[in-house]
Structure 1
Amino acid sequence: MRLRPIPTAITLALLLATSACQKQETGTSTATPATTQAATAEADAKFADISKRWLDGWLEQQPVSATQTGKHDFDDRIEDLSAAGRQKFVDFSKAALAEVDALDASKLSRENQVDLAILRNQIRYDIWQLDTLQSWAWDPQIYNGLAGGALYTLMAREFAPLPQRLKSATARMEKIPALLAQMRENLDPARVPKIHAETVAKQNAGLNSIVDSMILPHADQLAGEDRKRLEAAAAALKQAVAENQAWLDKTLVPNAKGDFRIGQKLYDEKLAFALNSPLTRQEIRTRAEAAIKQTRAEMYDIARKVLAGKPNAPQAMPDAPSDEQQQKTIEAALELAYADRPARDKVVDVAKQSTAEATAFVKEKQLVSAPDSPVQIILMPEFQRGVSVAYCDSPGPLDKGLDTFYAVSPIPDDWTKEQVDSFLREYNTRSIHELSIHEAMPGHYLQLWHSNKYPSTLRAVLGSGSFIEGWAMYAEKVMDDANYMDGDPLMKLVQRKWALRAFANAILDQAIHVEGMSRDDAMKLMTVTTFQQEREAAGKWVRAELTSAQLPTYFVGYSEHMDLRGEVQKREGDKFNIKAYHDKLLSFGSPPVRFARQLMLDEPIK
């Protein structure tokens, strides 16, 4: 999972610049090349002007997002989610959309045609989220994420001298109590789902942990009034957090009556915005179900070879197994992988080791150009725990030369021995290797490193979730095809199990939010059909309750990546070079795969 807890924004100074020599589409126009180039230059200039003004407004209204992106002019501010603040954002977005819609896309350069389509989708999505989805009225995670992100993004990376960042943190600590007050004013308990209320009630104290662990230990970097102001702001924030905790526990959680399922209309609309893919919900379901069937068949073939001569092998492993025979055979082989697992306190150590091994393998096999700096493996900050096991947190497109974090959530102290055992069976040693491939090398870390080098900052900031998550899953397949870990059959089995998880994600998300899938049915799909352990499946159920239209990004992007590579391989035949292909694909930044395809295959942008 690539971390993007809040929307991102970008600076004007580094607004995308399109090369004058970019290839133009051919058409029926009789204009001379010089005339066409002049028209394109004029259209590109107009697009750049509109984009600059939009980006300027976006930055102004999303200062926490701006910090995350690497634009630090507003590090002392936070978002305004009051009624007036929300309306200002909507009015601004509608005015920008009118200008964008008035542009003639056919006159733009190909790269700007892509960026125009991405920008239009984002503006429409912003309006839809505020006016139609209205998550500000029912999802307390928004406020919690902004409050934690406001401080964490300042302190996690050394983009400026520490005293300067502490002064910005002081200003934001002074403003967070007002954001928490907006939470209490905006949220309608009748619309807030119980799981959302309970999750934020557990995370709320994480704000204090950021203050105590990342800010106050450095208070001596300030002197005089600056230090007094910091300490006073920290004390006031802690009081505000305590007051908010009381409201969460006594008012919101007991009275939260909302349905976490957003329903078919909202789901389909959100899915279209989030994926920006030609695939419909129904097509995604059909593809995912077919992929599960094929992958289970591959796992059965691997399992039969692994179990040959083993004492725990099922008695019958025929060429054409029944569903029960297939299930038992795969489960028996997976037990061999589960037996090799880290100690409770060694998960992060194994993540570090596996990342180093995956990096060496990518370089040895010349699979793709690798980053020139290492990723930092860290414990996941407390205020972000509870949704996923790990994430990749790359620096913003404007923060150059800073660390990327591969954050791993520690096993909770209050888990029972049985819960820990279930977790470590799922995240056995080979699974952590798979996790490191996905989050770091050659997954998110590598792809985002390439993306941040692309000259269009707009495209980097508005990166496609399905391209990014799809690439990370595709990276797992690339490593498997290259026989990572010397072609270890248990590693191949685990890789396919992880693929099954992504296929199930795509089904779960729509089945839960649109079809009303029960927890029991969801758990069966995860624990039986796709071989997940109870702790993993229980956590995924919570994640599906807390989010929507994010879980399908893995499979949709993966499917599109696989389709695109297959077509390029077919066209190039023996001339196909996987490293050259990957480097070219990643040179486009992080656009929706539909646009990467059009750029790669020289198709019309639409």
Structure 2
Amino acid sequence: MLKQAAWIAKRVDAKVGDYIGRLPRRRFAIEPVPPELAPFYTGGRGGPGIYLVNTYNLPSRPLYNLTALTLHESSPGHALQMPLAAEAQGLPEFRRYSYISAYGEGWALYSEYLGQEMGMYDTPYDRFGYLTYQMWRACRLVIDTGIHHKGWTREQAQAYLRDNTALSEHEVTTEVDRYIAWPGQALSYYLGELKIIELRHKAEAALGEKFDIRAFHDAILETGSVPLPVLEQRIARFIAEGGKSPWAQEASEQ
């Protein structure tokens, strides 16, 4: 499983420069989740310098979703976005090192979406994995609301996730426990992704042929971790400036 994750990450390396102008200097390692955490941990976790893959109970870890997981947790997801923010010397520290879930998880989920354009889901198996992940994130919106607003029981939440996703029984159990313990966080993924897609469509419509996907992604990533209304303001400025990369002047001086 680790070998397959590494192969997917290397395939991303060959493509990501076509979609993002500035890449972080820091590379990430791919390692298994520590054994003392693995039974209760998510399928993966990415961040500065690390992409953790959960290899506990391997029969419960289907390979069909590994491409989407790797895009989300490694590059262009968390293991790209977070070190890039940390390396941005012009940002205040709270934006370089803090984490606003709607921004961070929104970008990581958008990275799964971007995998379609990057040609990463090149088999029906991979495509199925991406779509099952989309279903899972949609179910989170229902389950989190059900638990924390409508009084759903743990068993109701598990049944809904079991009936409407391709998650294994082990994942159903650990995921619902996570939603119970962390109210609202599960909602941030889709809310953030939908906002980034909305802003991209807005920029594409406004800029027409001037729209540059690399410049747009650079504008998203150069902000560091910000609330979604602040991200909206940043992309409004990106459009007003004609869609220029935030690094355009720096590049011209080199």
Q: Give the equivalent residue in structure 2 for 1:471.
A: 107
Which structure's CA Rg is the greater one?
1
Is 1:480–1:495's contact at 8 Å kept on the other side of the alignment? no
Residue by residue, what CA displacement relative to the aligned partner does 1:126-182 show, whole Å, maximum 9, x if unpaired?
xxxxxxxxxxxxxxxxxxxxxxxxxxxxxxxxxxxxxxxxxxxxxxxxxxxxxxxxx
Task: Show the 5 A alignment for 1:387-398.
Answer: 387-394=41-48
How far does residue 440 in structure 1 lie from its aligned partner after superposition? 0.4
Q: Give the equivalent residue in structure 2 for 1:483.
A: 119
- Is residue 2:56 matched to residue 1:411? yes
Structure 2 CA distance for aligned equivalents of residues 602 and 371 of structure 1: 24
Q: Give the equivalent residue in structure 1 for 2:20.
A: 368
Q: Give the equivalent residue in structure 1 for 2:244.
A: none
Residue by residue, what CA displacement relative to the aligned partner does 1:62-117 show, whole Å, maximum 9, x if unpaired?
xxxxxxxxxxxxxxxxxxxxxxxxxxxxxxxxxxxxxxxxxxxxxxxxxxxxxxxx
Q: Which has the higher contact order (CA 8 A, sep 6+)?
A: 2
Is 1:355–1:441's contact at 8 Å kept on the other side of the alignment? yes
Residue by residue, what CA displacement relative to the aligned partner does 1:510-547 show, whole Å, maximum 9, x if unpaired?
21122122334323322222332222212211212322
- Is residue 2:200 matched to residue 1:574? no
- Is residue 2:31 matched to residue 1:378? yes
How far does residue 437 in structure 1 lie from its aligned partner after superposition? 0.6
How far does residue 382 in structure 1 lie from its aligned partner after superposition? 4.4
Q: Give the equivalent residue in structure 2 for 1:552.
A: 187
Structure 1 CA distance for aligned equivalents of residues 187 and 230 of structure 2: 19
Q: Which amino acid is the alignment partner of residue 506 of structure 1?
A: L
Q: Give the equivalent residue in structure 2 for 1:116.
A: none
SS in 2 for 1:601: helix
Match of 1:514 among 140, 146, 149: 149
Q: Which amino acid is the alignment partner of residue 19 of structure 2?
A: L
Is 1:569–1:576's contact at 8 Å kept on the other side of the alignment? yes
Structure 1 CA distance for aligned equivalents of residues 123 and 25 of structure 2: 28
How far does residue 383 in structure 1 lie from its aligned partner after superposition? 5.1
Residue by residue, what CA displacement relative to the aligned partner does 1:439-466 show, whole Å, maximum 9, x if unpaired?
0011111111221133221212333111
Give the aligned CA root-mean-square deviation in angstroms. Answer: 2.1
Gaps of 5+ in 2: 239-254
Residue by residue, what CA displacement relative to the aligned partner does 1:241-275 show, whole Å, maximum 9, x if unpaired?
xxxxxxxxxxxxxxxxxxxxxxxxxxxxxxxxxxx
Q: Give the equivalent residue in structure 1 for 2:78.
A: 444
Is 1:390–1:407's contact at 8 Å kept on the other side of the alignment? yes
Residues 496 and 463 of structure 1: is their aligned pair in 2 closer, same or farther, counting only changes over 3 Å? same
Task: Show the 5 A alignment for 1:304-319.
Answer: none
SS in 1 for 2:51: strand
TM-score, L = length of structure 2: 0.84
Match of 1:561 among 180, 188, 196: 196
Q: Which amino acid is the alignment partner of residue 220 of structure 2?
A: L
Q: Which amino acid is the alignment partner of residue 376 of structure 1?
A: A
Is 1:500–1:530's contact at 8 Å kept on the other side of the alignment? yes
SS in 1 for 2:185: coil
Structure 2 CA distance for aligned equivalents of residues 476 and 381 of structure 1: 25
SS in 1 for 2:45: strand
- Is residue 2:87 matched to residue 1:453? yes
Q: Which amino acid is the alignment partner of residue 368 of structure 1?
A: I
Q: Give the equivalent residue in structure 2 for 1:358.
A: 12
- Is residue 2:114 matched to residue 1:497? no
Structure 1 CA distance for aligned equivalents of residues 5 and 67 of structure 2: 7
**Large movers: runs of 4+ above 4 Å:** none
Task: Show the 5 A alignment for 1:248-259.
Answer: none
Q: Which amino acid is the alignment partner of residue 101 of structure 2?
A: G
Q: Which amino acid is the alignment partner of residue 464 of structure 1?
A: I
Is 1:387–1:542's contact at 8 Å kept on the other side of the alignment? no
Residues 447 and 393 of structure 1: is their aligned pair in 2 closer, same or farther, counting only changes over 3 Å? closer
Match of 1:588 among 223, 226, 239: 223
Q: Give the equivalent residue in structure 1 for 2:248.
A: none
Structure 1 CA distance for aligned equivalents of residues 236 and 14 of structure 2: 31
Is 1:440–1:446's contact at 8 Å kept on the other side of the alignment? yes
Task: Show the 5 A alignment for 1:277-296.
Answer: none
SS in 1 for 2:158: helix
Structure 1 CA distance for aligned equivalents of residues 32 and 128 of structure 2: 28
SS in 1 for 2:102: helix
Between 354-363 and 562-571, report the one with greater CA deviation.
354-363
How far does residue 384 in structure 1 lie from its aligned partner after superposition? 4.1
Is 2:68–2:112's contact at 8 Å kept on the other side of the alignment? yes
Structure 1 CA distance for aligned equivalents of residues 35 and 232 of structure 2: 39
Residue by residue, what CA displacement relative to the aligned partner does 1:388-429 show, whole Å, maximum 9, x if unpaired?
2221132xxxxxxxxx111123315xxxxxxx53x13xx31x
Structure 2 CA distance for aligned equivalents of residues 533 and 514 of structure 1: 26
Q: Which amino acid is the alignment partner of residue 600 of structure 1?
A: I
Q: Give the equivalent residue in structure 2 for 1:529.
A: 164
Q: Which amino acid is the alignment partner of residue 448 of structure 1?
A: M
